[in-house]
Amino acid sequence: SLLDVVVNNDLPLDGFGACEGTLACCTCHVVLSPEHFARVDKVNPAGEDELDLLDLAPALSDESRLGCQIK
Protein backbone atom coordinates (compact mmCIF):
# COMPACT_ATOMS: atom_id res chain seq x y z
CA SER A 1 0.00 0.00 0.00
CA LEU A 2 0.98 3.64 -0.18
CA LEU A 3 1.28 3.49 3.60
CA ASP A 4 3.88 0.72 3.23
CA VAL A 5 5.86 2.92 0.85
CA VAL A 6 5.87 5.74 3.40
CA VAL A 7 6.85 3.45 6.29
CA ASN A 8 9.40 1.32 4.41
CA ASN A 9 11.17 4.38 3.06
CA ASP A 10 11.06 6.23 6.37
CA LEU A 11 9.45 9.23 4.71
CA PRO A 12 9.09 12.16 7.12
CA LEU A 13 5.29 12.48 7.08
CA ASP A 14 4.53 13.08 10.74
CA GLY A 15 1.40 11.28 11.90
CA PHE A 16 0.73 9.63 8.55
CA GLY A 17 -0.89 6.24 9.03
CA ALA A 18 -1.50 6.50 12.75
CA CYS A 19 -3.73 3.41 12.88
CA GLU A 20 -1.31 1.38 10.75
CA GLY A 21 -3.89 0.68 8.07
CA THR A 22 -6.74 -0.58 10.22
CA LEU A 23 -9.19 2.00 8.84
CA ALA A 24 -9.49 3.86 12.10
CA CYS A 25 -7.83 7.25 11.64
CA CYS A 26 -7.82 8.78 8.12
CA THR A 27 -4.40 10.36 8.78
CA CYS A 28 -3.31 8.68 5.55
CA HIS A 29 -5.73 10.79 3.49
CA VAL A 30 -4.23 11.71 0.14
CA VAL A 31 -5.59 13.61 -2.83
CA LEU A 32 -4.49 12.10 -6.13
CA SER A 33 -4.32 13.81 -9.48
CA PRO A 34 -7.41 13.06 -11.57
CA GLU A 35 -5.31 10.80 -13.83
CA HIS A 36 -3.86 8.79 -10.95
CA PHE A 37 -7.22 8.61 -9.20
CA ALA A 38 -8.83 7.13 -12.32
CA ARG A 39 -6.07 4.53 -12.66
CA VAL A 40 -6.17 3.51 -9.01
CA ASP A 41 -9.96 3.46 -8.95
CA LYS A 42 -10.02 1.13 -11.94
CA VAL A 43 -7.87 -1.59 -10.34
CA ASN A 44 -8.42 -0.90 -6.64
CA PRO A 45 -11.70 0.97 -6.02
CA ALA A 46 -12.48 2.26 -2.55
CA GLY A 47 -14.52 -0.08 -0.40
CA GLU A 48 -17.49 0.92 1.70
CA ASP A 49 -15.43 1.16 4.91
CA GLU A 50 -12.89 3.43 3.21
CA LEU A 51 -15.63 5.67 1.82
CA ASP A 52 -17.27 5.94 5.25
CA LEU A 53 -13.98 6.99 6.84
CA LEU A 54 -13.16 9.40 4.03
CA ASP A 55 -16.32 11.29 4.92
CA LEU A 56 -14.47 12.37 8.08
CA ALA A 57 -11.32 13.52 6.26
CA PRO A 58 -10.56 17.24 6.18
CA ALA A 59 -10.39 18.84 2.73
CA LEU A 60 -12.17 15.92 1.10
CA SER A 61 -11.90 15.92 -2.68
CA ASP A 62 -13.38 13.87 -5.51
CA GLU A 63 -9.87 12.41 -5.87
CA SER A 64 -9.42 11.58 -2.18
CA ARG A 65 -8.29 8.14 -1.07
CA LEU A 66 -6.82 6.61 2.06
CA GLY A 67 -3.18 5.80 1.45
CA CYS A 68 -3.37 2.59 3.45
CA GLN A 69 -5.99 1.26 1.06
CA ILE A 70 -4.18 2.06 -2.19
CA LYS A 71 -2.51 -1.16 -3.30
Residues that bind ligand FES (CB under 6 A): 3, 17-19, 21, 23-28, 53, 66, 68
Q: Give me the residue whose beta carbon is nearest to ligand FES.
A: 68
Nearer to ligand FES, 39 or 52 (CB): 52
Residue closest to 70 by CA, chosen among 34, 25, 47, 14: 47
Nearer to ligand FES, 18 or 38 (CB): 18
Distance of alpha carbon 67 from alpha carbon 41, whole angstroms: 13
Nearer to ligand FES, 13 or 36 (CB): 13
